[in-house]
Amino acid sequence: MSHNGAGVSEVTVRVPMNIALVKYWGKRDEQLILPLNDSISLTVDKLTAETTVRMIQAVGENTVEINGRRVELSSNKRYQTVFDEALRLQRKRKEDLNKNENECITHHFEVISKTNFPVAAGLASSAAGFAAIARAIQKILNLNDTQANRLARIGSGSACRSMFGGLVHWKKGEKEDGSDCVAVRTESENWPDLYCIILVFNDERKKVGSSEGMRRTRETSTLLKHRIEYVVPERIEQVKKAYESRNFQDLARVIMADSNQFHAVCLDSIPPIRYLNESSWRLIELVEKFNQQEVKAAYTFDAGPNACVIVQKYDVPAFIRTLLQDIIIPSEDLKSVEEELKVSFDCPSEINSPILCSKLIVSPMGGGPADS
């Protein structure tokens, strides 16, 4: 962190996005972004938002720039919510310390964020972005983890799961003020062999946004309540246990079942919500084929058609070979995987009715944020 004489604090952090293994779907409080159920996730080390936050002690306008483009804050209220909460926490700490300084001191924030993956790819970039802002403000204001977690969450719910490495458990909490709604790193040591292979499938369909989708499912699905009350709690425990004991097969089975159930409650909504497209389903079939002898891969899909397939590091080449039988993958993406894993792939000369993948990303999982 740097300070200068003019009352400017500046911090730069790099924070990864995360993928839920048991999905978050439905809010119990829209304003505070309190979820209806617990979720559990791993970060994707290679997909990060690098974000610089400047807190400036002067009258001025808050600004946010993402990948070189200015964000219109009047239509993205979440940023203001985060800045307001940050200033409230600062005031509160001063009061706690009995520092009744000049109450009229004002601040504003400047945020400059860069993601190393296209925001338009439909990967959950806002989670990494808000987590990075929260992390940077945590450093500037010396907040504790719970405060920083809240800051991330009120920006973008699942952002609070990007604040730690390892297996992260976002607890829904019970309290109305959200004070017991926090993401925590589970006690399990990180499992560095877990890799994810992300496949971006383009989609022309108009997508139901996740806030709107969650609202619709909560209001209309007759299955969601059962999922929340009975299914999710058990699955959270299953994931923790499988992760702790390094039981990949058990972990994979829960991951796939929960991805499917999330899409099932979407389909049970009125009108039905559909995120999986033909490419997603083809990928599901490829994973089933790959798993025929032994479960070695787990697919999971968020609110869109893109697939995230979790495998152990030594299975990455075999899985990519399976993909290449049916999927056309951009050659530059394939080349960078070859270089990194020191393997080489043969692409079949012709594929019948191929699936087109516009981006392939292979990444270790479970790394945490980094401060620079």
> Shortest gap between Cβ of 264 and a copy of itself (angstroms)?
4
Q: Which is nearer to a copy of itself, 233 or 368 (CB)?
A: 233
Out of 71, 73, 264, 324, the residue judged to bind a copy of itself by CB under 8 A: 264
The answer to whether residue 223 forms part of the interface with a copy of itself (CB under 8 A) is: yes
For a copy of itself (CB under 8 A), the number of binding residues is: 26
Select 226 or 335, whichever has its Cβ closest to a copy of itself. Answer: 226
Minimum CB distance to a copy of itself, residue 281 (Å): 6
Does 261 interact with a copy of itself (rule: CB under 8 A)? yes
Q: How far apart, in Å, are the Cα atoms of 113 and each of 10, 22, 83, 141, 358?
A: 13, 28, 15, 19, 24
**Of 260, 312, 322, 336, which one interacts with a copy of itself (CB under 8 A)?**
260
Instruction: Work out whether 265 is an interface residue with a copy of itself (CB under 8 A).
Output: yes
Measuring CA to CA, how many Å separate 44 from each of 29, 47, 53, 162, 239? 27, 6, 22, 9, 17
Stretch that binds a copy of itself, among 133-141, 185-193, 220-228, 358-366 (CB under 8 A): 220-228
Cβ nearer to a copy of itself, comparing 14 with 274: 274
In angstroms, rounded to a whole number, what is the distance separating the alpha carbons of residues 52 and 156?
18
- Among the listed ranges 3-11, 156-164, 208-216, 256-264, the one in contact with a copy of itself (CB under 8 A) is 256-264
The answer to whether the CB of 227 falls within 8 A of the CB of 260 is no
212 in contact with a copy of itself (CB under 8 A): no
Instruction: Kindly compute the dihedral angle of the four CA atoms of residues 74, 77, 81, 82, in this order, to the nearest 10 degrees.
Output: -90
Tokens standing for 313?
């590091």
User: What is the x/- site pattern for a copy of itself, positions 33-72, by CB under 8 A?
Assistant: ----------------------------------------
Q: Per CB under 8 A, does 263 bind a copy of itself?
A: yes
For the CB of residue 230, give the shortest distance to a copy of itself in the complex, in Å.
7
Residue 261: CB minimum distance to a copy of itself, A: 5
Of the candidates 256, 297, 309, 360, which one interacts with a copy of itself according to CB under 8 A? 256
Closer of 7 and 272 to a copy of itself (Cβ): 272
Cα angle 145-148-149, degrees, rounded to a multiple of 5: 80
What are the backbone dihedrals phi and psi of residue 112, each rounded to the nearest 5 degrees, phi first?
Answer: -125, 120
Q: Of residues 268-307, which lie at the interface with a copy of itself (CB under 8 A)?
A: 268-272, 274, 278, 281, 284, 288
Are 12 and 4 within 8 A, CB to CB?
no
Query: Shortest approach of a copy of itself to residue 222 CB, angstroms?
Result: 5
Restricted to residues 109-128, the positions that interact with a copy of itself (CB under 8 A) are none
**Binding stretches for a copy of itself (CB under 8 A):** 220, 222-223, 226-227, 230-231, 253, 256-257, 260-261, 263-265, 267-272, 274, 278, 281, 284, 288
